[in-house]
Structure 1
Amino acid sequence: MHSQTRRRFLATTGITFGAIGSATTGATTSTERFVVDSTSVEDSSSVEVIHRLDPIGVSVVRASENAVDSIGAAYAADAGGTYDRPTAPAGVTGASADALADSASLYDYQWDKHSQQIETVHQRTRGEGTRVAIVDSGVAAGHPDLDGAVNAELSKNFTEDDYGAPGPYAGSHGTHVAGIVAADGDVLGSAPETELVDCRVFTPNDERGLFAFLGDVLAAVVYSAEIGCEAANLSLGAYLPRQELGSFWGKAMNRTTTYAAQQGTVLAHAAGNTATDLQHDGPYVDTSMAARGLCVSSTGPVAFEPGAAPDEPFYTPAFYTNYGTNAIDLAAPGGNVTEDGDVYDGVLNCVADPEFDDDGEYLGATYGHDWFQGTSMAAPQVASAVALLASVDAQDNANRRMSTLRRVADVPATHDKPFYGSGYLDTLAAIDD
């Protein structure tokens, strides 16, 4: 009954998932890019190696299928998806943010940080000595609230475009996610002393829209583990029918996640924003590779105002969040949307709106702050918690950190377990455990 109510709400509000911090909204398989079960592939006139992923024994190549077949190794077509630029409802940017700050600090509107008691957490740790990869649309290292947070030397562009990294080249999504982790200015991140690495997998100005290949995501995860990230955040939220990917994809993803875990990197994944029961609604495969990481659903208040109790608490499942008894590991603050579009129920953090000329040349970005909603905003709350745990106990490993987060989380008595997995994220309890 509850899920039917949620779906009716989706149908009647007319809200699109691009407007609530979602990620992939469609998918396609490539006829010229393939993931091959070999690292001995060489560049030739018929095969171009895009990524050679030695730790997992896989290469991503550009070639005809005949050329790939002649290699004599198992392979699968690379799969890709598009997403809309996230556009939050009537948010705070530029002068509007200054006007709001006259009566209250922006931190007063960060209910997500209040719910995690982040100011108390920061009395013990601010994430010092840790590193988090943001596998996303690009991070605006120049945003004032991210000043000094991004390691530009380690940041990397995994796409085939020429825009580089770091930078918000494919929209504000990655910058907002990064701010949730490590902002330290007008808005606050959960782990403001952690080092961020921009691993960009989405490309702008593509005829398909804002586009990412899963082969690039595999490469970004492997790289994040290679450079010693305590966490990699994947606010991708994608899932595809199993038959569209084939069995080799499962093997490649399993190798990738196993390698990340062995290297001590926790993968935090957005569960997706289509109000789908991932346990029962279809034969889906989780393309965000959450099987060995933490798959995160989204919660948010209803009718939040600073200094007042909301109509529904912070741990209320968001109407759009995906769920599922064995699919979700944790729930975390991702933002809600009321029927009248109350912006304060979203998650407030950094934005960077990129600008391009008619030829696609990047002209710069406009920096500000805004509210987004989505499991994309929930996952980095968990990635931040992993970094904070690593900061207080560098000798711990990825599995124990995930176990700690699960153990201290509780499922609210008034809500259903399929929305929470082990429970609602409790960052302070994890640090004190």
Structure 2
Amino acid sequence: MSGVGGLDGVGGIRRFGGLRRRWLGAGGVVVALVAGFVVAPVGGLPSAKADDCQPSVTPVPLTPQVPWAQTALRVGDLAPFSTSGTKIRVAVVDSGIDVAAPQLAGAVDVADSVSLVDPKTYPPTADALGHGTMVAGIIAARARAGVGVAGLAPSAVSLLSIRTYKTCESEDAPIAAGIRAAVARGAKIVNVSAGSSTNTPDLASAVSQAQAAGVLIVAAAGNLGAQQDGNPPQYPAAYPGVVAVAAVGADRTVTTYSEHGAYVGIAAPGGSADAPLLGVGPAGDGTLASGLGTSFAAPYVTATAALVWSRYPTLTAAQVRQRLYATADRMASGAPDASYGWGIVDPYAALTTVSTPAPATTPPPVAPSPLSFAALPVKQDFTGRALAVGGGGILSAGGVAGAAWLARRRRRGVRVG
């Protein structure tokens, strides 16, 4: 088992959100580490280790608790903007999407989804790892009675599952082919919660072709940000024009594992060991999943982009990206910052701030955003609650964290367009 952003090889595609956890039962403690997701470099032939063939997320009992990330991003305020407008086709290039999950019923265009890794054995609508399903749920999970988990843009998107993984976390992953397949099937946004520290011509070409077709690519910035992991640039996140997403915790601080550099465009909730994210699990009984990583920060930005494009359908991909950056919740006076990019994604501001779309080549304003933060963060205490009631305690603490995050915002003045 790897530590945060641990490496088992060099240059391969890594999934940036898979967790290895021990589930100790009711009243127990959930122990979490980010697994360094590794597959072969393009054309390589590594062998998968036995302990790699495990789910990337952890099963969590159903709970009515609203996850902290949803509270922090004001998901409840987005309802007026998510039920009308153009439906946006969003491709999830990942480990598949389990369409049996109740909260994803009707969310996936099954007919147009595709598996690039033996579709008969590994169909696009199943997901042994759980990674792609949790990503999909952050974007489009339907509301469910008695369950607090919900997606940001369930009514604004039609998902495509582009499966590029089988069942293990050490395998060759055709990400470039996945991007091309998504574009060929009409995707306007492609979510790639994986990356490679090797800049390959094939991947660069796939990204360039997608952008030429007017497609917006949102990618995880990577989980190798800790000093011991070297913080190597990750691709496709580091390519020009790609929205590279860093991860923040419940205290709005960039996580230690999140990669940083000039290519980072924006940040979003990615979770930490004491406050992981909660999402949809790959199970027909509706069991939830818990995870952390930039993998799961990226779909919050993808969903926000889809909502913006649905409401403002005449925007170009570059203008959607511009709007995300311009309305982000600033975390550094000299934005863009190498850790946060232009700030933390703010879906409500992106949808309601009245502005004339800027030319695609115009950089976002450097002036402070209307959103500002308290000088002294409120310290969050998750450990006591987690030890007291196990997994449920972590979920409860997450809700408190989200409320605290939201409470630390000053009221902003925006005009609803």
What is the TM-score with the length of structure 2 in the denominator? 0.68
**Matched residue SS, 1:292:** coil
Among candidates 185, 188, 196, match of residue 159 of structure 2: 196
Distance 1:79 1:400 in 2: 40
Letter paired with 1:111: W
Shift of 1:292: 2.8
Among candidates 305, 308, 311, match of residue 392 of structure 1: 311
Moved more, 416-425 or 128-137: 416-425
Query: Among the aligned pairs, what percent are the same residue?
Result: 25
Distance 2:295 2:4 in 1: 20
Query: Match of 1:224?
Result: 182
Paired residues of 1:21 and 1:377 also in contact (CA < 8 A): no
Among candidates 22, 27, 40, match of residue 28 of structure 1: 40
Q: Does 1:170 align with 2:128?
A: yes
Paired residues of 1:411 and 1:422 also in contact (CA < 8 A): yes
Shift of 1:426: 0.9
Q: Does 1:298 align with 2:228?
A: no
Paired residues of 2:4 and 2:36 also in contact (CA < 8 A): no
Query: Match of 1:18?
Result: 19
Distance 1:431 1:79 in 2: 45
Question: Structure 2: 5+ residue runs without aligned partners?
Answer: 7-16, 21-31, 354-417
Distance 1:263 1:18 in 2: 34
**Matched residue SS, 2:342:** coil
Paired residues of 1:411 and 1:423 also in contact (CA < 8 A): yes
**Matched residue SS, 2:40:** strand
Query: Match of 2:209?
Result: 259
Among candidates 417, 426, 431, match of residue 346 of structure 2: 426
Query: Match of 1:317?
Result: 254
Distance 1:122 1:298 in 2: 25
Among candidates 280, 284, 306, match of residue 350 of structure 1: 280
Question: Structure 1: 5+ residue runs without aligned partners?
Answer: 1-7, 31-76, 243-248, 302-312, 339-344, 354-364
RMSD of aligned Cα (Å): 3.2
Q: Does 1:92 align with 2:54?
A: no
What is the TM-score with the length of structure 1 in the denominator? 0.66
Could you say if the C-alpha distance between residues 81 and 288 of structure 1 is closer, same or farther in structure 2, counting changes exceeding 3 Å? farther
Could you say if the C-alpha distance between residues 426 and 29 of structure 1 is closer, same or farther in structure 2, counting changes exceeding 3 Å? closer
Paired residues of 1:237 and 1:273 also in contact (CA < 8 A): no
Letter paired with 1:377: F
Greater strand share, structure number: 1
Shift of 1:174: 0.8
Paired residues of 2:139 and 2:154 also in contact (CA < 8 A): yes
Paired residues of 1:236 and 1:376 also in contact (CA < 8 A): yes
**Matched residue SS, 2:224:** coil
Paired residues of 1:151 and 1:195 also in contact (CA < 8 A): yes
Query: Match of 2:68?
Result: 111
Moved more, 381-390 or 111-120: 111-120
Give the paired residue count.
Answer: 320
Shift of 1:125: 2.4
The Cα offsets for residues 238-277 of structure 1, whole Å up to 9 and x where unpaired, read as 324x6xxxxxx23x32321122122222111111222247
Could you say if the C-alpha distance between residues 236 and 191 of structure 1 is closer, same or farther in structure 2, counting changes exceeding 3 Å? same
Could you say if the C-alpha distance between residues 218 and 22 of structure 1 is closer, same or farther in structure 2, counting changes exceeding 3 Å? farther
Among candidates 98, 111, 130, match of residue 153 of structure 1: 111
Distance 1:316 1:28 in 2: 32
Shift of 1:391: 0.5
Paired residues of 1:258 and 1:292 also in contact (CA < 8 A): no
Query: Match of 1:330?
Result: 266
Paired residues of 1:334 and 1:347 also in contact (CA < 8 A): yes
Greater helix share, structure number: 1
Structure number with greater Rg is 1
Shift of 1:237: 3.8
Paired residues of 1:201 and 1:212 also in contact (CA < 8 A): no
The Cα offsets for residues 201-234 of structure 1, whole Å up to 9 and x where unpaired, read as 0012xxxx334434x2111111212222121111
Could you say if the C-alpha distance between residues 86 and 174 of structure 1 is closer, same or farther in structure 2, counting changes exceeding 3 Å? same
